[in-house]
Amino acid sequence: MIGYVTIGTNDFEKSKAFYEKALAALNVRKTFGSERMQGYGVKGQPGSLVVCTDEGAPGDRGGGFYGAYFRDLDGNKLVVFKMGA
């Protein structure tokens, strides 16, 4: 489980718009924020994760790890994944 992820940006407003759109597909919404940070989460769950330049097609990465990698507007590499059989 991920408690939280911190990602820096060079354009805060543009980055917030990017993540709002990218995370909506995962049912993740803005939960809190200030002039220096923005939090996202899933309703009814405590702080959730944390995408969208494609870094390769989703697939089995071995050992039951199935993932897809992306880069955000600032070049941060992120992964959406599922563990298990």
Could you report the per-residue pLDDT of 32-54, keeping only the tens digit for each? 888 888 888 776 554 444 446 67
Length of the chain: 85
Does residue 71 fall inside a structural domain? yes
Does residue 34 fall inside a structural domain? yes
Query: What backbone torsions phi and psi does residue 54 show, to the nearest 5 degrees?
Result: -65, 130
Judged against a pLDDT cut of 70, whether residue 29 lies above it is answered with yes
Q: Are the C-beta atoms of residues 63 and 81 closer than 8 Å to each other?
A: no
17 — pLDDT class (breaks 50, 70, 90): very high
Domain with residue 49: its CATH number is 3.10.180.10
Q: Are the C-beta atoms of residues 70 and 1 closer than 8 Å to each other?
A: no
Task: Give me the domain span that covers residue 29.
Answer: 12-83
Q: Is the pTM of this model over 0.85?
A: no
Look at the chain and report how many structural domains it folds into: 1
Does residue 29 fall inside a structural domain? yes
11 — pLDDT class (breaks 50, 70, 90): very high
Does residue 27 fall inside a structural domain? yes
Q: How far apart are CA 19 and CA 62, in angstroms?
A: 28
DSSP 8-class letter at 59: E
Does residue 1 fall inside a structural domain? no
